[in-house]
Chains A and B, each alone.
Chain A
Amino acid sequence: MNTELFGVLITFLLTIILAIPLGKYMAKVFAGERTITDFMNPFERLIFRISGIDPKAGMNWKQFLKALLSINLLWFVYAFFVLIFQNKLPLNPDGNPGQTPDLAFNTAISFLVNCNLQHYSGESGLTYFTQLFVVTFLQFVSAATGIAALVALFNGLKEKTTSNLGNFWNLLVKSTTRILLPLSIVMGIILAFNGTPASFDGKDTITTLQGDTVQVSRGPAAGMIAIKQLGTNGGGWFGANSAHPLENPNYFTNIIESIAILLIPMALVFTLGFYLNRKKLAYVIFGVMTFLFLVFVSINIYFETKGNPAIDRLGVAQHIGSMEGKEVRLGSAATAFWSIATTSTSNGSVNGMHDSLTPISGGVAILDMMINALYGGVGVGLLNYYIFIIIAVFISGLMVGRTPEFMGHKVEAREVKIAALITLLSAFLIKSGTALAAYFVSHHPGLAWSVKPAAWLNNPSYHGFSEMLYEYTSSNANNGSGFEGLGDNNIFWNVTTGIVLILGRFLPIIGPVAIAGLLANKKYIPESAGTLRTDSITFGGMTLAVIIIVNALSYFPALALGPLAEYFSLK
């Protein structure tokens, strides 16, 4: 057991050690300073020339968002149709069928918004063509979109007064060529050399030692798995995601993949410090995030290594923890750590089945997605955290009786209204979605849909409620993991979660970028003795309190009905 805990500790420390230099590097890339990847320059100039982009042309917040949304719209339309007609396209050695329109709607949105909720299984629901030209493609560009939006926020904060948030196309391309692509190449090669398939061969048929005939799905998975983790996408090549022994072959790859989940989100916090030259602010933000992260990790490791009390009662030995839905080569501690890493960062890949986590661990995973700002998704995590900062600034301002300010700009009614709406939106989407689904399950279980509501849930009682709550929380957070027992490939779930996905992605991008644009247009107020210092430990504590209060008020009742009730029923 100790080597399992030690493995987790080393994984986390390695992540921090790698995130700091990466954060510094990214700050240089966005500031246009010299970096070791400058050999990409001619290549990028070619991209800009062919596309007709002037990378130096500044954009105000409205132009920036218009560019972002227009290219995202095209990606959605493209992905939707390719998924429906994938059976007629090349690279389909296993002869998989096209997706139904409602599934294609859900899948296209889900990958577009960096969520990767998968209502299909990779082995049978996609072809190699769509795995690459829809899934892998969107995994790159949706992550790059998130990073670009965050840099727009940085640019708004950097200058005293400006309307220029940077050029979206330039940021999108550079996020891909300078950050995501190089890291994915390194990681893809590491995975390929550790046993993850990389070739285009289709399914293999083998006769096992015992004489059964089985098939083994394969495919060019290594590269896709790299960007799946690095871009906080999370959608796996295989149905079982990183629990699959070809997707995550050994403990070493598990360390690499765990680091990759956290790396860029964590590094971007440091990028903020270097880019804005406000290192102390970055450390305070990092401290708050890390504090909550480690609390959650400790809880889950405790409960998963302790095992399931109901299994204890059957009289067998849970000497390596609760192993339902987990893999022996990874162990319960590493899966507990991963369950928090993946829900903190809106990654959503899993290396063990979350539906089979013990009740409290499952509940903490849900809560983590409700907060959705501990490091958070690539780019968007800090945008979410920024909303909490704005609310903390506002409340602190009220408490001391001063006009709230953040980094030299007055935070006024309009900005606070946007921040409050974004915060309330999450609670609204998650709870109304869950309520609607629960209504159908309990009042219309026999509706003549392709899958009757009575057959949606894989588990009865409190845990069944948690399955629905998890699905909408995961959709809103653009996380993509699930309590996968839920029967979610049908029109109700495909459409409702699809809608939650879009709103849960684009409003929390539009909101913070708009606030940044509005603030940056205001007159700069130099700091004075009366300024509320946002880079102090006190303010860090204030933000932490806001995060806890907002989420407790929003979600405690829902969590009490699901995971908490299940936990107490176990006693």
Chain B
Amino acid sequence: MKNIGIVIKLTLILLIICAGIFPLFIALVGKLEPNGGKGETIIVNGKAAGYANVGQKFTADKYFWSRPSVVEYNAAGSAGSNKGATNADYLKTVQDRIDTFLVHNPGIEKSAIPAEMVTASGSGLDPDISPASAYVQIKRIAAMRSLPEDQVRSLVEGHVEKPLFGILGPSKINVLKLNVALDALSANKK
């Protein structure tokens, strides 16, 4: 069994390379990244209001809502609902979300509600909504904040992130960034 010596020594060496040197090297290079490899934060009034890439719960009427989340946007964990397409309980949950949305957004037709606003994301931390999901909330936001609808609309339009290179993937809006800008807009008005 001359293999035993080889097996042990080679394992130790590979451990040092793959689990020691490799991640340390990436961590060191990551320090050169603008946020030091710790994740990009968004600063409001000198305080971190959150991570740009990690979604937040927005349920107040004065904010653009984010998508439903199974973990309530607590990024200590992450999860989707894992509900199947035909699950009756699940469909009832979606129906409840539709009803809630209609109550808080008077004057909006059911057929205008984008499905992603009433279905939970995969991570429970989705930082984005589709442009349509923001447009459908403009009326409510304008009323709650006593802002002209056009002004809110142009704010939303300014926050649409186009597909990669203009041609690859979906358009989206980062909800946290949009709401930070919305607060700033309201503050300027006063």
B36 contacts A199, CB within 8 Å?
yes
A210 contacts B63, CB within 8 Å?
yes
Given A199-B27, A212-B57, residue A251 in contact with residue B49 (CB < 8 A): no
Given A51-B13, A209-B49, A245-B55, residue A327 in contact with residue B126 (CB < 8 A): yes
What are the nearest 8 A-B pairs in CB distance?
Answer: A198-B30, A485-B82, A243-B122, A463-B84, A198-B37, A353-B80, A240-B78, A251-B169
Residue in B35, B95, B168, B180 with the greatest tally of chain A CB atoms within 10 Å: B168
Q: List the interface of chain B (C-beta within 8 A of A).
A: 2-11, 13-15, 17-20, 22-23, 25-27, 29-31, 33, 35-40, 44, 48-60, 63, 67, 73-88, 90-91, 94-95, 98, 110-130, 132, 163-164, 166-172, 176, 179-180, 183
A327 contacts B122, CB within 8 Å?
yes
Interface 1/0 per residue, A202-220 and B, CB below 8 Å: 0110111110101111101
A564 to B165, CA, bound (A): 39
Residues from chain A with Cβ under 8 Å of B20 in the complex: 132-133
Residue in A209, A320, A483 whose beta carbon sits within 8 Å of that of B179 in the complex: A209
Q: List the interface of chain A (C-beta within 8 A of B).
A: 3-4, 6-7, 10, 47, 50-53, 66-67, 70-71, 74-75, 78, 121, 123-124, 132-133, 136-137, 140-141, 169, 172-173, 176-177, 181, 184-185, 188-189, 192-193, 195, 197-201, 203-204, 206-210, 212, 214-218, 220, 222-224, 226-227, 238-240, 243-246, 249-252, 254-255, 307-311, 314-320, 322-331, 334-335, 350-353, 355-359, 362, 458-463, 466, 483-485, 566, 569-570
A483 to B84, CA, bound (A): 9
A356 to B35, CA, bound (A): 34
B56 contacts A208, CB within 8 Å?
yes
Residues from chain B with Cβ under 8 Å of A226 in the complex: 26
B85 contacts A184, CB within 8 Å?
no
Residue in B8, B15, B94 whose beta carbon sits within 8 Å of that of A311 in the complex: B94
In the complex, how many angstroms separate the beta carbon of B10 from the nearest chain A beta carbon? 4
B168 contacts A50, CB within 8 Å?
no
Residue in B8, B87, B88 with the greatest tally of chain A CB atoms within 10 Å: B87
Residue in A212, A327, A357, A461 with the greatest tally of chain B CB atoms within 10 Å: A327
Which residue in chain B gives the minimum CB-CB distance to A311? B115
B30 contacts A70, CB within 8 Å?
no
14 further A-B contacts with Cβ under 8 Å, apart from A140-B18, A244-B123, are A4-B170, A7-B167, A7-B169, A51-B5, A140-B22, A169-B10, A209-B49, A209-B63, A224-B23, A251-B169, A311-B119, A350-B122, A359-B84, A485-B81
Listed by A's residue number, 20 A-B pairs whose Cβ atoms lie within 8 Å are A7-B163, A51-B9, A52-B6, A136-B19, A193-B30, A195-B53, A199-B36, A209-B63, A214-B73, A223-B26, A315-B98, A320-B132, A323-B116, A324-B83, A324-B119, A325-B120, A353-B81, A359-B84, A463-B87, A466-B84
